[in-house]
Amino acid sequence: MPDIVKVVIADDELISRGYMEMFIKPSKRYEIKASLPSAQNVLDYCRSRESELPDLIIMDIMMKTGIDGLTAAEALKREFPGIKIILATSSLETTWWDKARLIGVESFWYKAYARLSLLEIMDRTMDGESVYANEEKEAMLGRLPAADLTAQQRNVLRELTRGKNNREIGERLGIEETTVRYHLDEIMRKADIHSRVELAVKASRAGIVVSDEDRLQSI
């Protein structure tokens, strides 16, 4: 392990990048080599500096323009497997965990619900750990803890936030329209939410589900 860990940050939100810089800069262990506004910038940075690659990349998943963080991480792991990656997100979309693990991403950090500090996750990652702390229990959908949603309920909810009706959701997921209605009624009852529109808005705003279409839409 290098004496000084070279770090690259990527987040399309200036405030979020500044927040990460504020915590990293005082550390004697880490040196920020670049703070970039997109995932594509990270790929370009590494490809142009193969003789002096970063040791660690901290990258947000959702980006306003260009490729998303998961797509960039997959390319980075393929081209530069020695670089360690921490993917960051404010969303609680659970399918991203599996995608990140499959790609080989070392660690996953929830910005909005973090119980572990960024520096702690960085230290543990550089010390050889893979940190996927489960922060989901902190989020609520109305009165319903997000952690209590079943996988099927999440699938139905994900399609609802895309503006699909019951028939379209059923066709997309390969289930009966009555099953879709049952899942939505059950979620609304437990969450104490009284309309589909309110349910879709609250789920979307909380980042509990995000479709791949939304993640990839800026590519």
Q: Mean pLDDT in each 10-residue stretch from start to end of the chain (219 residues)?
A: 90 92 94 96 94 95 90 96 93 80 92 76 94 67 86 90 91 93 93 91 79 60
How big, in percent rounded to 5, are the helix, strand and coil portions of the chain? 50, 15, 35
pLDDT at residue 201, as a whole number:
86
Strand partners, 58: 9, 86
pLDDT at residue 219, as a whole number:
43
Q: Are 59 and 36 spatial neighbours (Cβ–Cβ below 8 Å)?
A: no
CA 84 to CA 122: how far, in whole Å?
Answer: 10
Q: Are 206 and 139 spatial neighbours (Cβ–Cβ below 8 Å)?
A: yes
pLDDT at residue 76, as a whole number:
97
Q: Are 71 and 62 spatial neighbours (Cβ–Cβ below 8 Å)?
A: no
Write out the DSSP string of 117-153. Answer: -HHHHHHHHHTT---B---GGG-EETTEEGGG--HHH
pLDDT at residue 215, as a whole number:
61
Domains of the chain: 5-137 (3.40.50.2300), 140-216 (1.10.10.10)
> Rounded to two decimals, what is the model's pTM?
0.72
CA 177 to CA 161: how far, in whole Å?
Answer: 17
Please count the other Cβ atoms lying within 10 Å of the Cβ belonging to residue 174.
Answer: 6
Max Cα separation, the chain? 60
